Amino acid sequence: MTTTPPAGTITIAGKVVSRLGLGTMRLTGPGIWGDPEDRDTALSVLRQAVHTYGIRHIDTADAYGPHTVEHLIRDALFPYPENVLIATKVGMLRPAPNVWVPHGHPAYLRACVEASLRRLGVESLDLCYLHRIDPEVPIADQVALMQALQDEGKIGHIGLSKVTPEDIRMVSKELTIAAVQNVLNMTDRYDPALELCRETGIPYVPYRPFNAGTLAHEKGVVTPLHWLLNLGDHVAPIPSTSKPVHLDEIVTAATAWAR
């Protein structure tokens, strides 16, 4: 394994990991639905990220597939290296390709966590995000369930995804937020949660860093990735790709930034 992680390191969920992570949304079929076109290539991307390039932060969700990518991660990387953080997310229904429905009923969240534990082959999830705060369920109930699962040892650390500063402040009164994951890129440039995370010491994990590939097509990977890394040491982007050649381009850009 590479000894120097690309783009330096950051502490997330108690682990010192590479600031450059790997998002895994694209390791599925079209519409983030079903199996990838080439399963062997998907497994290769995961293995190369960790064992060749030294990426120590792998981000996924039970909704990717759904369930597809958690199975791929286990098949590619289990037993997981001790210094690698596997983060997943729960709280999203997938009734069809490209359809995403937040569902934060406590019983559903508990079932999701139990299923993710089995798919990933672990007794505790390193980092588990509430994929979305469900507006139809009291936020206190969603937070209480996540905290209960943490108290039971089934979740190590809790994160929030697609949240506002108000959400972060509210949840922070009840539990420690290990990471915040929001959209941020050179097209969607403004997120007030970025500064709140800087002020409070919460790692900020921008997803869709290349705006679903549009920015990479227009500008290449260097400019958008360097723009994010320059926003602060608390920023840990998770670009997603299904192609080894693109993974190599992303890692090369991150390594060049670190120099």
pLDDT one-digit tens code per residue, 160-184 = 999 999 999 999 999 999 999 999 9
**pLDDT number for residue 259:** 85
pLDDT one-digit tens code per residue, 53-83 = 999 999 999 999 999 999 999 999 999 999 9
**pLDDT number for residue 127:** 98
Distance set, CA 215 to CA 13, 170, 219 (Å):
30, 34, 6
- Whether the per-residue pLDDT at 49 is higher than 60: the answer is yes
- d(CA 202, CA 215) in angstroms, rounded, equals 26
Residue with tokens 């019983």: 107
> What values do phi and psi take at 17, rounded to 5?
-125, 170
Give me the chain's average pLDDT, please.
Answer: 97
64 is catalytic: yes
**What is the separation of C-alpha 158 from the centre of its chain, rounded to a whole number of angstroms?**
12
Identify the CATH homologous superfamily for domain 9-258. Answer: NADP-dependent oxidoreductase domain (3.20.20.100)
Distance set, CA 258 to CA 9, 158, 171 (Å):
10, 28, 34
Q: Which of 53, 64, 80, 108 does the annotation list as catalytic? A: 64
Domain layout of the chain by residue ranges = 9-258
If pLDDT is split at 50, 70 and 90, which confidence band does 3 have? low
Can you tell me whether residue 119 is helix, strand or coil? helix
Residue 53 · residue 86 · CB < 8 Å: no
pLDDT one-digit tens code per residue, 182-232 = 999 999 999 999 999 999 999 999 999 999 889 998 999 999 999 999 999
- Whether the per-residue pLDDT at 1 is higher than 80: the answer is no
- Percent of the chain past pLDDT 90, that is, above it, reads 96
The token duo for 100 is: 């995403």
